Structure 1
Amino acid sequence: MASELERALFGEVNAAAIRSQLDDFCRRHLGVGIRLVTFHRISVASVRGVMLDDGSRAVIKVHRPEFAHHLEAVQTIQRHLAGSSFPCPRPLAGPAPIGNGVATIESMLEAGSMGDAHEPAVRQLLAQGLRELVSECHPLVGSVDPGPFWLLAGDQQWPIPHDVRFDFVRTALGAEWIDRLAAEARDRLRSAAGRMVIGHVDWRVENLRIEKEAITAVYDWESLRLLPEPVLVGAVAHAFTASWDATSPFEIPTLAESAAFIADYERARGAPFDARELDAADAAHVYTLAYGARCQHSDAVLKIFGEASEEDGYISHLRERARRA
């Protein structure tokens, strides 16, 4: 049964018909068809891992057509990174039209396993890896624009939530304190200090693989954005330990772990942030916590997962931040 997203991308079709469209896409762009689908995930895109008829493995991602320009920038950056041996998949085809959407094909990186960033050594590795990514992308700043951080784009207090299950309008009652803290943080971010960098705003253990104390694979490159360096680091600090993969779940970081990640990043860059940059990182951390709390509140009010608690997770962390202010 096709999901709502896949119906929008491929039409009212079944799994076999979707596979046929993907097989035709691979034959047109790679000259080889699909032998086997190895995994299938749906988030903001329809994603399938495939083994091709020549035995090679690849990942096909199908997005809504409005992402085409962003995907072109992302693939330019990926090619640059892959050429410098950074652990990122190499683009193979696209972005190109398929059905009602736009698709890309990239190589599949499988080495390594998910780490536990609650362990200080893994946390430090993630901070070092993020800094290396920023350094590798530095030559592209000003010539390639992956767009602003979606969470902070525009003038509205909240963006359209990343998942259709979240309804910020219907669940506004009781969330006024979250909205107030978010508004204060956004006001601080309007004049955020720091040099502009290209960075991965969803730099979490779920999107990374580690082997022998090295990052061996990074996924979800659609999360590349152009933003001030301290804002990138503060935003990443709010969730870098998290995995919502049912097979390998990890909790969000504690406030102390978030602060330690920012300090690890400063050491990796070889220079501390100045006072204005630290304020930008702090504001980004508060705003991303508030967004997570708003999502958590929505789930609790709408009883998405039954009688969910509002006394843990992002809400608990945001309350603690408010008490410290």
Structure 2
Amino acid sequence: MVLRSMFVEVEAWCFRVLGHGTLTSLRAEAGGQMSHQFRYDSDEQGTVAVKVRPDSTDRISRCLQIQRIAADAGFPCARPLTRADLLEPGVVVSAETWLAGGEMHSGGEVSFAARSARLLAGLMEILESQSPTGLGAPPPWMHWNPPTGGLWPTNPVVDAMNQDLVPGHVHDIARSVSRRLAQGVLPLVVGHGDWESQNLRWQGDLPWAVHDWDSLVALPEAAIVGAASGAFASTATPTLSTIESSGNFIDAYQQARDRRFTDEEQEVAWAASLWPALHNARGESLFQSPPVALDALTCQAPERLQRAGVP
């Protein structure tokens, strides 16, 4: 439920930046941190999507710049219409073209893996010349080595909960993955850090829209691909893809990019494939939700760690 005070602030911003129109509050979306979505029916510009989220204007400005580059290159995504403005301290607002419609894939993982991987490869090709500066820290489901030196990135709400609810083997796997990824010396690139099915829309087999551009990251290419290979099939309930599906995703990505990963990149990809599931398994345990990611992680971790070169 959007607070009335926020609605009034957003409405005033829309009047000032987009002209007269009607604002409608939509549901909150997960993207980096929780964000609020609005629909603004502008008399001058038609229907516009407005997004409000806790973040910095500098980081969101960089995300919008990269999103605009992707849209201008013909990639299926909304095009930013405004700059990032500070709505109130620590809260950023911006607007983009309204790109509704399309369908979220919810069928078989194996058949979908190559299609999703090829779409990611197309985006990475568009962004390969972009500097990774300005994107800040990755979102927690991609943040395997926080600067605090702790195992998990800082989150006051989550950190205050009873950590004994998290099974010990989740922490053990996370330590192994974190150590393996800390060994890497691969260059940083720009990529999408929340490549889940719930953020993609299709018309048949053709991509219609990629959402959640607040989750852009600066990480090694193999790590971005690996994390996507584990998370790509997640819909409303995040889980861990099958090992076969992740392997197909990683292979299809390389084919689309017309190059093979080195042995180091292969290991980094498989290590990174575990981190989103680790993040989700920890959350399931703390909030006592059904152990969807936890069960998949428990079953698959030994083979994924082996492929990551972790003894």
Normalising by structure 2, we get a TM-score of 0.85
Matched, 1:257 2:236: no
Give 1:192 shift: 2.1
Give the alignment partner of residue 66 of structure 2, picking from 61, 64, 77. Answer: 77
Asked if structure 2 preserves the Cα contact closer than 8 Å seen for 1:192 and 1:231, the reply is no
Deviations 1:37-91 (A, max 9, x none): 1623254222212222346111111122x42221011011012111111112111
Asked if structure 2 preserves the Cα contact closer than 8 Å seen for 1:114 and 1:209, the reply is yes
Give 1:254 shift: 2.1
Give the alignment partner of residue 36 of structure 2, picking from 27, 34, 46. Answer: 46
Give 1:176 shift: 1.9
Q: Distance in 2 between matches of 1:117 and 1:192?
A: 34
Asked if structure 1 preserves the Cα contact closer than 8 Å seen for 2:231 and 2:273, the reply is no
SS in 2 for 1:50: strand
Amino acid across the alignment from 1:123:
A
- The residue correspondences of 1:55-70 to structure 2 (distance < 5 A) are 56-64=46-54, 66-70=55-59
Residue number in structure 2 paired with 1:124: 114
Cα gap change, 1:34 to 1:63, in 2 (>3 Å): same
SS in 2 for 1:51: strand
Q: Distance in 2 between matches of 1:256 and 1:167?
A: 34
Q: Distance in 2 between matches of 1:315 and 1:168?
A: 21
Q: CA RMSD in A?
A: 2.4
Q: Distance in 2 between matches of 1:239 and 1:78?
A: 21
- The residue correspondences of 1:297-312 to structure 2 (distance < 5 A) are 297-300=285-288, 305=289, 308=290, 310=291
Matched, 1:19 2:16: no
Give 1:92 shift: 1.2
Deviations 1:142-163 (A, max 9, x none): 5x532342323423210135x9
SS in 1 for 2:51: strand
Asked if structure 1 preserves the Cα contact closer than 8 Å seen for 2:240 and 2:297, the reply is no
Asked if structure 2 preserves the Cα contact closer than 8 Å seen for 1:39 and 1:50, the reply is no
Give the alignment partner of residue 319 of structure 1, picking from 298, 305, 309. Answer: 298
Give 1:118 shift: 2.4
Q: Distance in 2 between matches of 1:108 and 1:132?
A: 22
Residue number in structure 2 paired with 1:147: 136
**Greater mean alpha carbon deviation, residues 126-135 or residues 257-266:** 257-266
Give the alignment partner of residue 210 of structure 2, picking from 212, 218, 230. Answer: 218
Give the alignment partner of residue 270 of structure 2, picking from 276, 279, 282. Answer: 282
Matched, 1:135 2:125: yes
Residue number in structure 2 paired with 1:156: 150
Structure 2: tracts of 5 or more residues without a match: 307-311
Give 1:117 shift: 5.5
Residue number in structure 1 paired with 2:82: 93
Q: Distance in 2 between matches of 1:103 and 1:36?
A: 14
Residue number in structure 1 paired with 2:190: 198
Q: Distance in 2 between matches of 1:318 and 1:121?
A: 21
SS in 1 for 2:56: helix
SS in 2 for 1:140: coil
Amino acid across the alignment from 1:74:
C
Give 1:288 shift: 2.7
Cα gap change, 1:33 to 1:191, in 2 (>3 Å): farther
Amino acid across the alignment from 2:264:
R
Cα gap change, 1:38 to 1:46, in 2 (>3 Å): closer
Matched, 1:34 2:21: yes
Identity of aligned residues (%): 25
Give 1:268 shift: 1.5
Normalising by structure 1, we get a TM-score of 0.82
Give 1:111 shift: 4.0
Asked if structure 1 preserves the Cα contact closer than 8 Å seen for 2:188 and 2:221, the reply is yes
Amino acid across the alignment from 1:232:
I
Give the alignment partner of residue 235 of structure 1, picking from 227, 234, 248. Answer: 227
Structure 1: tracts of 5 or more residues without a match: 3-13
Amino acid across the alignment from 2:87:
I
SS in 2 for 1:90: coil
Q: Distance in 1 between matches of 2:13 and 2:222?
A: 40
Cα gap change, 1:288 to 1:21, in 2 (>3 Å): closer
Deviations 1:178-205 (A, max 9, x none): 1111111101101225442211111111
SS in 2 for 1:315: helix
Q: Distance in 1 between matches of 2:23 and 2:111?
A: 37
How many residue pairs align between the two structures? Answer: 295
Give 1:293 shift: 1.5
